[in-house]
Structure 1
Amino acid sequence: MDRQIDYRHLESLIALLTVARLGRYTAAAAVLGVNHSTISRRIDALQKAMGGHLLAHTPNGWELTDLGRRAMASAEAIEQAVAAISTEEDSPTLTGHVRLAAPDAFSAHLAAPALAKLQAKHPQLVFEIVSETTRARQTRTGMDLEIVIGQPSVRKAASTKLMDYELRLYATAEYLQAHGTPHQLSELAGHSLNYYIDTALTVDKLDEATSHLPPMHRAISSTSIAVQYAATMNHAGLGLLPVFLSKHYPNLIPVLHDQFSYLSEYWLVGREEALRSKAVQATVRALNDAAANGDWFILPSGNQVPS
């Protein structure tokens, strides 16, 4: 039988809950506003009180043991009780700290506006959005949720498709006037391309997109979609760009749209422990609703560069 946990271990239970959701002591420390050693001390104290290991270090980060899962249930009950105390009658208020990693176009144009609306309803929610374009982490540590391009292959996590993602070629009138307008895919070999850096690209679906094109000289390559747009709108070459944004920029002219497009999807990935958090659940609903309704934030001037 597990030993009794008294009130002195409340902070330790919250530390355990946060580590279980984020998979990393340092990430939990950042969320709770303490240092790494404090998290370690609290977990150690709780393990001594319960008489066994609560966490095991694995390639997926820190994972709960069987004993840890029993302690996690108590931690979640405490979290819910605290939330209930701070909730005004007939006006449910969410609290918590949610970390999201997503590609920069998705971060700026869907995640940020969707979560801004959610945060306006629940001011005690805190969001951190890490803008990055990578494959789903096999460790999945440090983040509650990830948005990735292409269906992920993950363990000990849940994944769901958010929406379709399409890439097409665009250029400015100035570029086409100076270099000619291609009328066949084969003619692209004489043109420059603005796209991701080959050696820095870890997303298979994005890497695969260019395999359907003839070899092209790389003009300006970047890990940032904003830089790719800036390069294309400043006539450096053709841009292989997301349709959902490009169609809002009138100075970008579609190129070979009757012959080429590349389809993929945005997928949402979350640790199982994180997805039990009401704050994370609300975040997932907000992102799903925004994706389903096409609630993309578009800058008012078509000549501005997206983030």
Structure 2
Amino acid sequence: MAKGSMTWKGSAVRDVENLLLLLAVVRHGSYSGAAAAQGLSHTTVSRRMASLEANSGARLLVRSDRGWEPTELGREYLAAAEDIEVAPGSLSPSATGVGGAVRGVVRVLAPEAFGGVALGEAMRRLSRTHPGVRLEMINAARRARTNLVGIDFEVVVGRPEVSRNEAFHLADYSLGMYASRSYLRSHPAMREPDDLQDHPLLYFVESMQDVPELTDPLRHVPRMNQLVGATSSMVHVELTRADAGVGLLPCYVAERGGDLVRLFPERFTFPVSYWVVSRSDLLRRPAVRAVMEAIRASVGDMEGELAG
């Protein structure tokens, strides 16, 4: 057999199973992640990947700081596995279940606030229509990544610049300035917009935030000193509730509890947007399609709330 050939030894069923297992390893970035998702042991995954590479005559996976990534030949094998996965009657244990029900694990990287509110609502819907789909979230507000390793899609803040992946607009939302009612009672009254700048700001750690849409609002409040910086927008909300200062918060999160007061919205309203980044082959996965449909439905219902 020639090195790098797309033919291999063994039974057709086991060949297909190993291809789909290769797909799981790349999506999770690790043997252990693939093993957990497929209900196998780490040793079994390692052995079957070694067998697949031996039959291919070349390396299919290489280690990187992000986990296992496919080689050039490995990408060919992944394309074949993805075609198998989306085909009717696929043998993938993570694609369909009894009666064609959609099953599988979908991994998403998303900002924390969006993940907790919009994705939470999407999964509530999905639990009724596709109970066999499970969501795993990594939460961060960050730029789009070049390589989608171990995740199926990411929700990013601001329009991404991507060349190898697909990107599409998901929703618009607003940031606003908020304070708790008790904070407003215990501090000098803010009668004019400029009065706000004499108060401490609760927001992201600027040096650790590389999304322009999230750092640009700081130009509008140059006198505000950042009393507490945190990488979590949900922490910003709780700090604001705890009277630690004035929070620059996603409006759809800040206004959910009804206990925070929005300050000078005519002056301090900052429009931002959410985008989805993925690969076309990942978006064809039945489980991913099901999650995306649920997200779109949830975002549509939240349109007025997101706009702030």
Instruction: Give the conservation status (yes or no) of the 8 Å contact 1:232–1:239.
Output: yes
Task: Select 1:72's aligned residue among 56, 70, 79.
Answer: 79
Partner of 2:134: 126
Instruction: Give the conservation status (yes or no) of the 8 Å contact 1:194–1:221.
Output: yes
Task: Select 1:290's aligned residue among 270, 277, 298.
Answer: 298
Mapped partners of 1:275, 1:22: distance in 2: 16
Letter in 2 for 1:44: A
Mapped partners of 2:20, 2:150: distance in 1: 16
Change (3 A) 1:153 1:31: farther
- Residues 21-40 of structure 1 aligned to structure 2 (within 5 Å): 21-34=27-40, 38-40=44-46
For the aligned residue pairs, the C-alpha RMSD in angstroms reads 3.1
Moved more, 214-223 or 30-39: 30-39
Change (3 A) 1:28 1:67: closer
Mapped partners of 2:147, 2:8: distance in 1: 32
Identity, in percent, stands at: 29
Moved more, 161-170 or 4-13: 4-13
Partner of 1:19: 25
Match status 1:82 vs 2:91: yes
1:158-189 CA deviation, whole Å, 9 max, x = no partner? Answer: 22111002101111233223323334443333
1:107-151 CA deviation, whole Å, 9 max, x = no partner? Answer: 111102211321332222222122322322333322112111112
Letter in 2 for 1:284: M
Letter in 2 for 1:287: I
Letter in 2 for 1:204: P
Q: Runs of 5+ in structure 2 lacking a partner?
A: none
Mapped partners of 2:160, 2:96: distance in 1: 39
Mapped partners of 1:14, 1:135: distance in 2: 29
Change (3 A) 1:174 1:78: closer
Deviation of 1:209 after TM superposition, in Å, equals 2.0
Match status 1:62 vs 2:64: no
Superposition TM-score, scaled by structure 2 size: 0.82
Partner of 1:304: none
Moved more, 218-227 or 62-71: 62-71
Instruction: Give the conservation status (yes or no) of the 8 Å contact 2:111–2:139.
Output: yes
Letter in 2 for 1:72: A
Mapped partners of 2:177, 2:246: distance in 1: 6
Superposition TM-score, scaled by structure 1 size: 0.82
Q: Aligned to 1:139, what secondary structure does the other structure show?
A: coil
Mapped partners of 1:107, 1:295: distance in 2: 16
Count of aligned positions: 295
Mapped partners of 1:250, 1:259: distance in 2: 21
Mapped partners of 2:207, 2:187: distance in 1: 27
Match status 1:43 vs 2:52: no
Instruction: Give the conservation status (yes or no) of the 8 Å contact 2:146–2:164.
Output: no
Mapped partners of 2:225, 2:78: distance in 1: 57
Task: Select 2:228's aligned residue among 214, 220, 226.
Answer: 220
Match status 1:99 vs 2:107: yes
Match status 1:243 vs 2:247: no
Deviation of 1:211 after TM superposition, in Å, equals 1.9
- Residues 187-198 of structure 1 aligned to structure 2 (within 5 Å): 187-198=195-206
Q: Aligned to 1:141, what secondary structure does the other structure show?
A: coil
Mapped partners of 2:218, 2:8: distance in 1: 60
